Structure 1
Amino acid sequence: MDTVRVAFRDECARLGEVLSGLSEADLDRPTDCRPWTVRELLAHVRSGAGRLTDMLAAPAPPRAEVDAATYFGAPKFTPEVDAARIDSGRREARELDGAALVADFDRAWRGAEAAVAAAPADRVVRTRHGDAMSVTEFLRTRAVEVGVHGLDLAAALALEPWLTPTAAQVIAGLLTDGRPVPPELGWDRLTLIRKTTGRARLSGREQAVVDAAGFRWLSFGG
């Protein structure tokens, strides 16, 4: 839990620093998470980062049923769910100007962090998909969402990726199931994350090595 909390906190804080210097024009740039703009993607990240606050205020399920990798399983993100997610991000982005949206992101993630700090380490929560997860595993998904979408935001803003070391560790560990990256790939953690989440193209040779290594392919839906 400590490592996952640090990953979530560091990545959110770093994103907040980057956002504080953006203009309204920056926020209206397109992203590769189509059809979202930077503003709309940020609204989605803001909602996801704050989700644990309400989850921890709700009654706890008796036991955890899924882990972070299962949460990101493709079967959960049907076309209907994906369309609702996209529409939600676009609708929420229209409700706030840039400064208010950035401030709300800061409020959302800090509120979630405080709620996690006050909860028992073995607390179980229920996701919006209806699954029961340990709070640690769900917070792991939040670190993944903020970190990977941070790569999307960096690309849209023509900035160098700012992925923080602990977030990179947590995300890479989930993608590889804790196994080492095959040395023949020569990847650092950032390259691993970009390649295996579709943010960078895999060569045919890399695809074969990844398939043989059994890396997890995650579907992102928040």
Structure 2
Amino acid sequence: MLDAPEPGEAEISAVEYYRPDDRFSPQTNGKRIALAQDRAARPADGAARAEDFAATWRRVDRLCRAQAGGRTVRTRHGDAMLLSEFVLTRVVEVAVHGLDLADALGREAWLTPAAGDAVTELLLGPEHAPAADKLGWSRSHFLRKATGREPLDEAEAVQVERLGIRWLALG
């Protein structure tokens, strides 16, 4: 992505990246699930995977920090967007799938406050992010509700409506 020519002007934001289209269709999600299941079924050396992951994130961090402000990139879906906005989509993915992983392992969520706040602001917009605090939920609980990982009960739905909170459509 960073090795490719810069596409010019950004066409979409992180919010628009999550627009409902083919990238989040049941067919595409099914392909993603099948690919993940295939990879998970392969024999693996946990230490080697951990080392590869550490090397990858360090390389990506170094490359991203070396980019000029306002750098645009083209996503695998063909969208031109600011690198900073694309990185925010990666924070969303790590945050919400980290919640999934913590739940699957029966562990406490390890969501950082900065990631929780960034995802909340993306989901609600900066003008409505403070409304999330009025719900009295932890960030991880809020994100589970906002992303459909936990259903809203009737009283919660009324409170969310009263606060004017609108969820971003995620695949």
Normalized against structure 1, the TM-score is what?
0.68
Residue equivalent to 1:85: 32
| Correspondent of 1:170 among 93, 118, 141 | 118
Distance 1:183 1:111 in 2: 35
Residue equivalent to 1:203: 153
- Check whether the contact 1:124–1:132 (CA below 8 A) recurs between aligned residues: yes
- Check whether the contact 1:181–1:187 (CA below 8 A) recurs between aligned residues: no
Alpha-carbon shift at residue 158 of structure 1 (Å): 1.0
Alpha-carbon shift at residue 111 of structure 1 (Å): 1.7
Greater Cα offset, 74-83 or 58-67? 74-83
CA offset digits 1:165-197 (Å, max 9, x no partner): 111110111111111226652223222111101
Counterpart AA for 1:215? R
Alpha-carbon shift at residue 69 of structure 1 (Å): 1.3
Distance 1:134 1:92 in 2: 30
- Check whether the contact 1:177–1:215 (CA below 8 A) recurs between aligned residues: no
Larger Rg: 2
Aligned residues: 166
Structure 1 residue runs without a partner (length 5+): 1-54
Residue equivalent to 2:97: 149
Alpha-carbon shift at residue 214 of structure 1 (Å): 3.7
- Check whether the contact 2:95–2:115 (CA below 8 A) recurs between aligned residues: yes
Distance 2:26 2:143 in 1: 24
Identity %: 43
| Correspondent of 1:96 among 44, 55, 67 | 44
- Check whether the contact 1:177–1:216 (CA below 8 A) recurs between aligned residues: no
| Correspondent of 2:18 among 41, 65, 72 | 72
Residue equivalent to 2:54: 106
Residue equivalent to 1:127: 75
Residue equivalent to 1:60: 6
Distance 1:70 1:148 in 2: 18
CA offset digits 1:83-103 (Å, max 9, x no partner): 221222223332633222222
